[in-house]
Chain A
Amino acid sequence: QKEVEQNSGPLSVPEGAIASLNCTYSDRGSQSFFWYRQYSGKSPELIMSIYSNGDKEDGRFTAQLNKASQYVSLLIRDSQPSDSATYLCAVVTGGGNKLTFGTGTQLKVEL
């Protein structure tokens, strides 16, 4: 089992819709979770961090964490074509500071 798993996609949503990106992780001791956005040919960009169970909202983005289910998700409301990118889920694993990344979900927002 991979430490951090994501569906590779592509996930296609129409402009204006809600995009839902999901991630599961295997280390029950993980306490810190991040979402990064990566445009093709660019570096990963931190968009959200979440540390407690529940929802955390920032603009059009909402991160959701359920530690009991070992599940973290990212919702993007009012999706725009500029949101088309690969979204990487990252989890601090091993009790230290090591960040383990999923392979990413490619999101396509269509006009």
Chain B
Amino acid sequence: DARVTQTPRHKVTEMGQEVTMRCQPILGHNTVFWYRQTMMQGLELLAYFRNRAPLDDSGMPKDRFSAEMPDATLATLKIQPSEPRDSAVYFCASGDWTGYSYEQYFGPGTRLTVT
């Protein structure tokens, strides 16, 4: 059963602390997307990678957020320092090329609360 995994599922931290979220894409998918979902803003694309190379991170606050893909089975999203406004659910999605575009399959998400 191929699915995207994310860890941790829940994270509560204090303002100023570093947060690292991890994602394992579906084996064979070469594209990984990071999203953030809040009630106010909905689902927003933060960054995405193809073949481990960053292609677009324009949705990500550059001063505190960073995304990497150290190998084909691991993508990371880091926030340093974290702020209360970063509280959201962070999703990773794994992309399967259809010939037209990527069909994206979402992981279960990391629910982040920054106090």
Determine the chain B residues whose CB is within 8 A of the CB of A102 once the complex forms. Answer: 42
Q: What's the dominant secondary structure at chain B's contact region?
A: strand
A97 contacts B43, C-beta separation under 8 Å? no
Q: How far is the CA of A101 from the CA of B103 in the complex (A)?
A: 13
- Nearest chain-A residue to B43 (Cβ)? A101
- Nearest chain-A residue to B96 (Cβ)? A46
Number of A-B contacts (CB under 8 A): 49
B34 within 8 A of A: no
Say whether, besides A97-B55, A97-B95, A99-B33, A46 and B103 are in contact (CB < 8 Å).
Answer: yes
A59 within 8 A of B: no
* Min C-beta distance of B2 to chain A, whole Å: 13
Determine the chain B residues whose CB is within 8 A of the CB of A99 once the complex forms. Answer: 33, 45, 102, 104
A32 within 8 A of B: yes
Say whether, besides A46-B103, A46-B105, A98 and B43 are in contact (CB < 8 Å).
Answer: no
B98 contacts A49, C-beta separation under 8 Å? yes
* Min C-beta distance of A51 to chain B, whole Å: 5
A44 contacts B43, C-beta separation under 8 Å? yes
- Nearest chain-B residue to A50 (Cβ)? B100
B31 within 8 A of A: yes
B101 contacts A32, C-beta separation under 8 Å? yes
A31 contacts B101, C-beta separation under 8 Å? yes
A34 contacts B91, C-beta separation under 8 Å? no
- The 4 lowest CB-CB distance pairs between A and B, nearest first, are A32-B101, A43-B106, A101-B43, A103-B42
Residues of B whose CB lies within 8 Å of any CB of A are: 31, 33, 42-43, 45, 48, 50, 55-56, 91, 95, 98, 100-109
